[in-house]
Structure 1
Amino acid sequence: MSNAPSPIIPLTISALLAELTDYTIPIYQRNYAWAAPEIEQLIQDVIDYAKSSPDKRYYIGTLVVSADTSKARSAFITVDGQQRLTTLFILHAVLRQKYGSVREQHMKLRFQCRPLSDDTLQAIANGNIAKGRSAYATTIMAAYDICQLALEDKLTLERIDIATFMHYFYEHVVIFRVGLRQDTDLNHYFEIMNSRGEQLEKHEVLKARLMGVFNNDVEGARYRACFARIWVACSNMNRYVQHSFPKQQRHYLFGDRDWNKLTIASFDDLVSTIHPEEGIIEGTGVSLSAILSDSDKSLIPVEQDDDNERFHSVINFPNFLLQVLQLEVGTVEIPLDDKRLLDLFQAYMPDEKDERITFVKSFIFHLLKYRFLFDKYVIKREFSTEEDRWSLKCLRWYSPKPNQETVGYVNTFEKSEGAVYSDNRRILMLLSMFHVSHPMQSSKRWLHAALWYLSQQSEVHAEGYVAYLERIAKSFVYDLHLATDKQNGYLTMIHQPVFSRRAASRLDPDKLRFGVINNNLIFNFLDYLLWSKHKDTNNRIRCFEYTFRHSKEHYYPQQPTHPEDIIAEKHLHAFGNLCLISHERNAQLNNALPVDKRKYYSNDKPIDSIKLYLMMQYPHWHIKEIEEHEEEMLDLLKAHM
């Protein structure tokens, strides 16, 4: 038998599904783990390409497989790409069951030694979820729900019909199937695949293009060295940028014996630290030739600090590059779509040589500037030994004893770590509200707003930052999502120096009904208003934290167990009966009556939603309570217009 690898085969989704082929996900791979950010991004990518390039193919990635010769028919063991393959399988099931897709499916997908996951996939494929959702794998059922909700919301928002989406999805989305040699040690290969990081990505191509504008002389070499230093330092979004510079350079760049402010004002300031005669970066002992040769791994060595696993960024590096480009471009709105990273930068690169150099020098300096502001004034997810929480902290140098240096992470706007009444906590609440409402990288206009505001301040004060973030939240909610007439785009709202008073008549109550609400920010902003109102008097509300909740739940159920308990849609789908919870909770509580939901949320369970918490304070819940609660919530929204 030949050990030659199978050819690389491009398969449309239609062709993938139509093959008489079994795919098995082996036990050594992690279980299905994609959630709303990844699934929504996949659907958004398909929509983007269907609209912008309807006749071109969209290459969605690779599926690495090994032939399984133990099966009677064509069969593969899935080595890499199972998360994407499983999602495509689930999305096809949604299209078939909800939208009437008639595409043939002979392909089968199975989990090895995971009967719960396997049963769930088969139930979804057959459209027969008969046992009740608690009997199935939570993450897969959640993905099924997310696909349904995201499709409905995005098709409406992007104004694309389902027939167009399905045609493009099945006929133009392509996945590459790559076969391995049959003598490959799959466990070892899988370990390598999970630890690799050497693929040439778009941002690496962009880096080479931008560095290429500098001349091939000594001055150009210094420019390229400093450019590379900044680029590499900024590219690891999960560690504070100071840690990616040598210790002596931290004192120069971020304040001597401080490390908490950016002291340079331009790219040339950074270049001036290089001794042209010696070609050595000041304070490092590393030559330019060492910096410029080989790969990024040969750059200036840095200490092994512990924040690389302690903190997790809310955005990845390619999308952060687009955020900086948007800030550089100004009032021209660009798509925050990293698939178009190279094209978007090319569109704004000047043609003339000197202007290109000026553009690149300005961009790389501002990349460092905005990255510093991002680390100091934008939330991260912080992982400790016992829990993970949102944090808003800055890095500071200090010397606890003579001749002893260390760094610490302290709340950006005060020294106390546990202040629940502080401006630091209020800013953290606002930023996490924006982030969980817009989990996709391409939808983080709020981050552009925050960075733009921060860049305009000679000194950032908590009160002003809070006021600006609240104004942006109101603009997004009242002038975009709930307005009877949408007057402004994102950039106009972000850059508008004075926010006009809004008339209550501009708020369209019909946009608050189930099936019409187009953004979870509405629920999350209302929770922020409720938190602000009740945090001083209610400890459970005071301790509320935002989580990723994407399921719009009916507190009074749509399909109660007894038909006589059904209420009219006018009340069922009213805003007063709706709240935002996780897909997992929705699966568990979907058809439970309010009295049973109250029992589930015992006093020791964290609050999913402040709005839901207040709804559960009613001893009874029916039409009268729905109307009363809705009026109270609408009054609160109108009071803050």
Structure 2
Amino acid sequence: MTHDGAQDDALRPELLAIGKVFDGRSRYLVPIYQRNYAWQAEQIEQMLDDLWDAKGNYYFLGNLIVTRSQASSAFPVYEVIDGQQRLTTLYLLLRGLEHHGHTGCLQYESRPRAMAALDHIAQAPSDLAAGEPPAEDHAIWQGHRIIKQYLARHLKSQNEQKLYRDFVLAHTQVVRITLPAKIDVNRYFEIMNTRGQQLQQVDIVKARLMAHLGNEVERACFAWIWDACAQMDAYVQMTLSRGNTELRSQIFGKDWSFLCLKDFDDLLECHQNIHSGQTHSEPTSSRPSHGYGALEIDAAIEAYAKPTGAKEAQDENAARFQSIIDFPFFLLHVLKLIMQEGASENEGILDDKRLVKRFDEFLEVKGRDKREGARQLVFHLLRYRNLFDNYVIKREFIGATDDDGDWSLRMLKKDKDSFQYVNTYPATENNAPDTASLRLLRLQSMLRV
């Protein structure tokens, strides 16, 4: 890329201070196939500590990989290929430092919740106790809150805040690498490393599938479903329709237990209704995940046999879960079911290192329309995830304790204006699980990965 904006085939690295990255002119667009903002306190505070320890010197924060958008614009628009977590954190840090010269420079493509949070934060809200609005991105609001609290601990005066802001703007640097216009971004994904770790294959698969969709509306709907299914430690009804009970009823029926839509077009209509304001929301919050304990399966069965009594959950924080497999393995299971490959024993081995290759093979099946293949796949991904939640055991953590948790086999059901988690297979009169439950629990205890 030349300095006047013309495209060429050269890789263009530029060492830039943060003040030049957020110069009031450049716009950064996080494409829809990228993950949502996901940094938590550990990553955010580590970056802030590094900056704090370096103040007074220069600090290099790493690479920002971008491509120059071909869309016509009065200002340069860069699509962010790698570095969006740091870029978003820097944006939130500058907002926390009351630097107003970069409003509107960061955008998340087709993600209204993320954009609503960024726009709201850009209006300089200072009341942390008020919490985030229910229709806005929780992770971004949480990042904003963590940064504000960190700054309140370290900066005791307006002068200290100004000195620290000047350090971040002038002495903190990144290398912004603009990829050639004709580069195969998917291929770049496969060879790119971020601090020694290869980009996750699930992100490559997501990008390749979305590339075959017909328009931005379909891509936004695809990402909405994919991202909800990727959160393996919560029931998909919660992640897909967080805080929106009317939408939950449209997708999962009046009792919220099973997917009742028939295809991707039905989901597309629901997704468009969210943006048009035809569904209504209620406040919710997110749920953390926890590690496995060491309960024996026989003890889990005994615990499962006990009657549950009162409601298991009145809100989304009352019960937390941990899946026995992670999302890449779940994707491979889903793909195997779709392609009906159960006939051969050799085909039964699922290797997450071959995730990209397996999905490429799926798309290249002779006669398959790739756009329709991507649409059908993400619909079945949601369908099987719903069944997985209902019929595969998981660790369940009740309340706010961080103990080992219990094995549970429950489904989510609506209960008046709330919901509860009920046993998938009710106990018999003598409080023992029925034969089917015993067999399922014993079989699925062997699936731990």
TM-score, normalised relative to structure 2: 0.43
Q: Computing the radius of gyration over CA atoms, which structure comes out larger, 1 or 2?
A: 1
Relative to total residues, which structure has the larger helix share, 1 or 2? Answer: 1
Which one has more relative contact order, counting CA pairs under 8 Å at least 6 apart? Answer: 2
TM-score, normalised relative to structure 1: 0.31
